Amino acid sequence: NQFFTSSRGISNNPQVTKLLKANKVHLLGFLSQPKIDHSILVGWGYKPTAAKARHVAKQKNLPYWALEDGFISWLNHPTQSKPSQRLSYILDKQGMYYDASTPSDLDTCIESIRCKTSNFNETRIKYLKQQLIKLKVSKYNQARAGFPAWLEQCKKNEIPLILLVDQTFNDASIEYSGGGKHSFKAMFEWGITKLKENSAANLILKIHPDVILGSKKGYLYELLLEAKASPNLHELTKRIHLLSEDVCPTDLIALSNKVATVSSQLGFEALWQNKEVTCFAWPFYAGRGLTEDLATKPIGYSRIQGTLSELMHGALILYPTYLHPDTQNECEIEDVLNYLQAHFLIRNLKCNQLVIPNVSLWKRSFIPEFIANSSADITYRKTFKTEDTELVWGMKAPLSDNKYWRMEDGFIRSVGLGADLRR
């Protein structure tokens, strides 16, 4: 098959080419259309960049395949990464997981588990869930901020916490899951009711950091300002906290007694920790008997019920495709978790500039591959600035009075003798 897209980013992404098992993904022309009969149109979900591809597919009665990030898809935040550094992709040939109006390939995956036509393994899922929580894995896995002082105090005093998850304005997952501004209003009012029912409880509004800075718009911040201006609610709002810091989602969920969302993935991650999750639209994990569903708009199709283990197997194993960052070959989710764990372990070993004096050309050829994630800039000069960190091989004496690190061969070091210069 030939593949065509209206997105230059998709056309230039080698990971997508590998995912589609294609030689090339052709770019649709803006003025003239190439012959695309018997071809497949590809786009990024339901984004505006995919509109032309979706239109051409409908016009010519051709298949449209939608791409999206997987549910565990970045070592760092996407803004700190190249588009071709995703850990996983979703390739959906019939819909998209966040579209509650029609079944997606995720529903097909879950159905195959329910019908016992796929290799479902409860023990594997149990271990996978343990690893996800232990390693604190999320969709994005950048280094996170610590809890602010007020949240640490809530933790220390064991205050019951109810977490409301905000989302950025016009996020596609809100509209296509049957949500909108009214959904966040209903969620906020639900939270207020919970405060009235429990005088000890506090409400946390998880706000996107960019909303506070004014570069993006959300929903819950404005609702809080309205509540503070209301004489009837002013006293209650003293128990409502804005959380804009980029804290670890796993730790935040662990601290919460209940989690409420419109369509955020955080609701899915809260289920991993067996939290009570209330949904005000129809994200992919709602309507399956696992959540309290308070959406006002009915779901567009009959959604398959299932256990949490079946949902996790479908959403995290069968539905996405994982690409190992070191080889760019397809791999299993456990391989990606091993990769993430290795990187999390070296996160504390960070510097802006690393100076490596007095190492052989042979060592220069491979050292950067081992330490590239620890330093933004690696040089081999013998002069030092105050802010430099020095890398010393073995027990050599450092050349500077600066902070220094040491490096040596590991205990499992090569497939041949040292004299053969094998890494």
| Residue 331, pLDDT above cutoff 80 | yes
By CB neighbour count within 10 A (0-12 exposed, 13-18 middle, 19+ buried), where does 58 fall?
exposed
Rounded mean pLDDT, 350-358? 92
| Residue 16, pLDDT above cutoff 60 | yes
- Can you read off the two tokens belonging to residue 244? 């804009």
Tens digit of each residue's pLDDT (9 = 90 or more) over 80-100? 888 889 999 999 999 999 999
| Residue 229, pLDDT above cutoff 70 | yes
CA distance 28 to 190: 47
What does the DSSP assignment read for 237-267? GGGEEEE-S-B-HHHHHHH-SEEEESS-THH
Q: Read off the pLDDT band of 208 (50, 70, 90).
A: confident
CA distance 131 to 140: 16
Q: Read off the pLDDT band of 212 (50, 70, 90).
A: low
Mean pLDDT of the chain: 92
Nearest to 200 by CA among 146, 257, 249, 254: 257
Residue 356, CA distances (Å) to 313, 346, 363, 415 in order: 45, 18, 10, 26
Tens digit of each residue's pLDDT (9 = 90 or more) over 369-401? 888 778 878 999 999 999 999 999 999 999 999
**Per-residue pLDDT at 37:** 85
Cβ neighbour number for residue 61 with a 10 Å cutoff: 6
Backbone angles phi, psi at 381, to 5 degrees: -75, 170
**Per-residue pLDDT at 188:** 98
**Per-residue pLDDT at 209:** 65
Q: Read off the pLDDT band of 33 (50, 70, 90).
A: low
Cβ neighbour number for residue 421 with a 10 Å cutoff: 13
Give the percent of the chain with pLDDT over 70: 96
Residue 261, CA distances (Å) to 85, 221, 355 in order: 29, 15, 47
| Residue 31, pLDDT above cutoff 60 | no
Q: Read off the pLDDT band of 329 (50, 70, 90).
A: very high
| Residue 355, pLDDT above cutoff 60 | yes
Tens digit of each residue's pLDDT (9 = 90 or more) over 246-273? 999 999 999 999 999 999 999 999 999 9
Cβ neighbour number for residue 163 with a 10 Å cutoff: 25
CA distance 281 to 179: 5
- Whether residue 370 contacts residue 398, with contact meaning beta carbons closer than 8 Å, is answered with no
- For residue 223, give every residue at least 6 positions away whose Cβ sits within 8 Å of its Cβ, in sequence order, or none: 184, 185, 188
**Per-residue pLDDT at 306:** 92
| Residue 414, pLDDT above cutoff 80 | no
Using a cut of 0.85, tell me whether the model's pTM lies above it.
yes
**Per-residue pLDDT at 314:** 97
**Per-residue pLDDT at 335:** 97
By CB neighbour count within 10 A (0-12 exposed, 13-18 middle, 19+ buried), where does 86 fall?
buried
Tens digit of each residue's pLDDT (9 = 90 or more) over 113-149? 999 988 899 999 999 999 999 999 999 998 888 999 9
